[in-house]
Structure 1
Amino acid sequence: MTTWQTNGIVWSIASARGVVYVGGSFDSVRPPGAQRGEGEVPRKNFAAFDAATGRLLPCAPSFTAGPDNSVRALKTSPDGKVLYVGGSFGRVDGTGVANAAAIDTAGCSLRKDFRPPVQATVRAVDVTDDAVYLGGDFQAVGGRTREHLASFSRTGALLPFKADIDQPVLAVLAAPDHGRILVGGDFHRVNGAAEAALVALDPGTGSTVASFPGWIPRSGVGVKTLTRDGADFYLGAEGRGTGLFDGRIAGRLSDGKLLWKDSCQGATQALAVYQGVLYSATHAHNCSQTPGGFPDGRRQHFLANSVRDGRILHWFPDTDDGIGESNGPRALAMAGGILWAGGEFTTVNNRPQQGLTRFSAGPGTAVPEGTPVMRAATNRAGRVELTWRATWDRDDAELTYLIERDGRRVASPKKRSTWWDRPEMTYTDSVAPGSRHRYTIAVSDGTTTSPRSQPLDVTVAGG
């Protein structure tokens, strides 16, 4: 879908009340299809868009004056009235803040009551009806010790909630309906006990209520993202070394039971769940041990898993690695059935598109990836054997191959294929011995059809 672009990295996306909010490290946005420098509109690390049409909105507070000068985390309140913002910034427009702030969504105005003095970068935010949880690099809030995680009232007062966490928190998932706050990050110890990158804490006190032994290796792996649907939760990991766990895990919120775990290699940066599908921003390059997966080779920057069993589904839009750390996409959010994605990328599906894109939940409109080249064998009287290699489609596994002889349809064989498995196909046509014919082929995914191939002229063997 056509989408505005940024001139830098998008780190986080959130939505509420028909608006999509985008935060990152960028100075401007530009229209769909525009090249860098064309039609640039100033936006300092924050932009807002109409969730349905993608139109750029005037809501444009500037987040500046931080060591890293970026917006790293966005989360709206359950009622959608307030957008909570975390990152590395010291000012919102002309007002001094300290790495966290809140925006009233109705008027796009900075709230006066939520300005906690957070000592260092905020990388994760989640919100309940009663509290705002911030996670990140910080070790103090307003001179009071808070080791990488803190809780505030909705009006900015620091709450007694306290947990001792030895390394940065990168993801927070509030589940007060199950009496816990899930926390993920780069840590190894929480509240004096060994915890490998994932822990569940009491939402009021910060004491540990559940551990997840064996889920994550004890070193070299961090939890980058957490999300939920109903009674289950999902995490995405990043391994810092060859062969370390990079994939996704599904667990049950009520008792912490592991439901499934994939084994893809290539770090997971963000997750979004919608109608039984877990979407991920990743750079997976080897999913050979995961059902529906692919062998080691090229990077695939988006994946979709079935929430039921973790099987990889046939949904393969892609980006390049892009700028920065060259990880491609880094943020996902579902808004009104449209999946928004942001990150470091500069192309989407091999076409220029920087920083931001979106995908419809309905049938894809892109044509299958290429038209086959046919070959013909005519060594039998009255027979033409056509051979070609199957192509593939980004969101349809089974394609229909439309074969025409002399401008009239003669066959429509179907075949399943993927970008890593494109089988050879054949069709044998019966015609008059010694006759001459012209063949073409096109490919349909049921919604769109590729251009027809160059004609193949054939003289049939005589009797």
Structure 2
Amino acid sequence: MSRVVRTLTAGLIIAGALFPGVAQADVRASPEPTVTFDGAIQSMAYLGDRLYVGGDFTHAIDTAGKLVPRTRLAALDARTGRLLDWSPVADGRVRAIAATDRGVYVGGDFGSVNGLTRDNLAQIDPVTGTLAPFRHSVYGHPHAIAISGSRIYVGGTVTQIDGQPRSRLAAFDLATGALDPQWKPAAQDSVNAIVVTGDRVLLGGAFTQVNGLKNTARVAVVDPRTGAVRPSFRSTIEYAVSSLSLTGSSLYAAVAGRGGRAMALDATTGATQWTVTADGDVQSVVRVNDTILMGGHFDRICKSAAVGDKGACQEGSTTRIKLAALDPSGRLQPWLADANGVMGVEAMAASPRLGKAAAGGSFTQINGAIQRRFAQFRL
């Protein structure tokens, strides 16, 4: 299927009003032929024609079913789905990946990479897989990494870098790898997502305050040089944010809580553009052209924002298991790629240039067919 059919399947709460849907036949999506994995995927990043993945796996599984050793890190050709030779080894879970031609930066719960000490944070050559000298003592776990201009930004549960206090956020010089001594924004709880654009660093997570200021709960914007909060952006999100992605003027947020939500926010002001409610946590939202994919732990998309104490939709729903597609207005599409498992989809990545999106997690099926923990779709 070359593009998601732009028709509606259900009414949704969009920007505070109920939009009736027009019933259409579901369109079953077929993942592209690719390698899959024997353990969960928690992080992914595209770089040109390559896709880097990290998680808890110890092998990739080629299209013939052959196990190929890959220890929590792997790369594939995003055009063909073929496993690449890139094979660094991490001794613990990889939670975050950001990739540039200079290096693939990874964060997580590991103590070594390629047999050398790396305390939850490392830089790896994007072609050879060799380890770079970038090395720091990290107290806490990185959940998000972003690269922009001359800096690397890291967020998570980090409270100390190289003996220097940090409140869940830190920055490093891209050229030297040195810890930035000045950038010290303080998040009150974990930072799960970072997006950098122009003169802004957008943060998402479980925090209720950044720098002790009001209107900074769950999503906040800080200065990329000073770390000062930009007060023009105000968040009203009530539950923890798992991931963020930015396209144009829209910031897409994956939200947990009672039920779960995919949200589009005005990237400048934080005003809600639309909200889609599900019966389980949303872990990631990405956009490719005119298609927005949401992935997570949900089994249904609710027809309103009304959910019960355990997140059950109270005013009707449409079945979408772990994955769903929306149009730019947040309307549910007939694209169907039902996954399985309890955790389902844990991470997603998008390449608008290739017209592709990838989903990773703990699932082992898509639409009833075997698809172990990784799937890539052309949209």
Once the two structures are superposed, residues 362-409 of structure 1 have per-residue CA deviations (whole angstroms, 9 ceiling, x without a partner) of xxxxxxxxxxxxxxxxxxxxxxxxxxxxxxxxxxxxxxxxxxxxxxxx
Q: Cα gap change, 1:269/1:133 in structure 2, threshold over 3 Å: closer, same or farther?
A: same
Unmatched segments (≥5 aa) in structure 1: 362-463
Are 2:34 and 1:9 aligned?
A: no
Q: Aligned partners of 1:286 and 1:105: how far apart in 2?
A: 38
> Secondary structure, in 3 states, of the residue corresponding to 1:260?
strand
Deviation of 1:189 (Å): 2.2
Asked whether the 8 Å contact 2:104–2:126 carries over to 1, the reply is yes
Are 2:122 and 1:101 aligned?
A: yes
Q: Cα gap change, 1:286/1:251 in structure 2, threshold over 3 Å: closer, same or farther?
A: closer
1:27-106 to 2 correspondences below 5 Å: 27-32=58-63, 34=65, 39-64=66-91, 69-77=92-100, 80-106=101-127
Residue of structure 1 aligned with 2:335, choices 299, 315, 334: 315
Deviation of 1:229 (Å): 1.1
Please identify, of 125-134 and 155-164, the stretch whose mean Cα deviation from structure 2 is larger.
155-164
Asked whether the 8 Å contact 1:283–1:299 carries over to 2, the reply is no
Are 2:221 and 1:200 aligned?
A: yes
Q: Cα gap change, 1:318/1:304 in structure 2, threshold over 3 Å: closer, same or farther?
A: same
Partner of 2:29: none
Deviation of 1:258 (Å): 2.7
Partner of 2:347: 331
Are 2:304 and 1:289 aligned?
A: yes
Partner of 2:253: 235
Partner of 2:211: 191
Q: Cα gap change, 1:237/1:353 in structure 2, threshold over 3 Å: closer, same or farther?
A: same
> Secondary structure, in 3 states, of the residue corresponding to 2:256?
strand
Once the two structures are superposed, residues 137-178 of structure 1 have per-residue CA deviations (whole angstroms, 9 ceiling, x without a partner) of 110101101111111111311111111212111111112x2x
Identical positions, percent: 31
Paired AA for residue 80 in structure 2: T
Q: Aligned partners of 1:128 and 1:245: how far apart in 2?
A: 33
Asked whether the 8 Å contact 2:146–2:152 carries over to 1, the reply is yes
Partner of 1:373: none
> Secondary structure, in 3 states, of the residue corresponding to 1:15?
strand
Q: Aligned partners of 1:134 and 1:331: how far apart in 2?
A: 17
1:63-462 to 2 correspondences below 5 Å: 63-64=90-91, 69-77=92-100, 80-112=101-133, 114-154=134-174, 155-159=176-180, 160-175=182-197, 177=198, 179-194=199-214, 195-210=216-231, 215-217=236-238, 221-239=239-257, 244=258, 246-284=260-298, 285-289=300-304, 295-296=316-317, 300-307=321-328, 309-321=329-341, 326-335=342-351, 336-361=354-379
**Structure with greater contact order relative to length (CA < 8 Å, sep ≥ 6):** 2
TM-score, length-normalised on structure 2? 0.83
Q: Aligned partners of 2:249 and 2:337: how far apart in 1?
A: 29
> Secondary structure, in 3 states, of the residue corresponding to 2:338?
coil
Q: Aligned partners of 1:304 and 1:52: how far apart in 2?
A: 22
Q: Aligned partners of 2:322 and 2:259: how far apart in 1?
A: 17
> Secondary structure, in 3 states, of the residue corresponding to 1:345?
coil
Asked whether the 8 Å contact 2:347–2:361 carries over to 1, the reply is yes
Please identify, of 206-215 and 227-236, the stretch whose mean Cα deviation from structure 2 is larger.
206-215
Paired AA for residue 288 in structure 1: K
Asked whether the 8 Å contact 1:33–1:353 carries over to 2, the reply is no
Rg larger in 1 or in 2? 1
> Secondary structure, in 3 states, of the residue corresponding to 1:251?
strand
Asked whether the 8 Å contact 1:216–1:245 carries over to 2, the reply is no
Unmatched segments (≥5 aa) in structure 2: 1-31, 306-312
TM-score, length-normalised on structure 1? 0.68
Q: Aligned partners of 1:131 and 1:107: how far apart in 2?
A: 23
Q: Aligned partners of 2:261 and 2:278: how far apart in 1?
A: 5
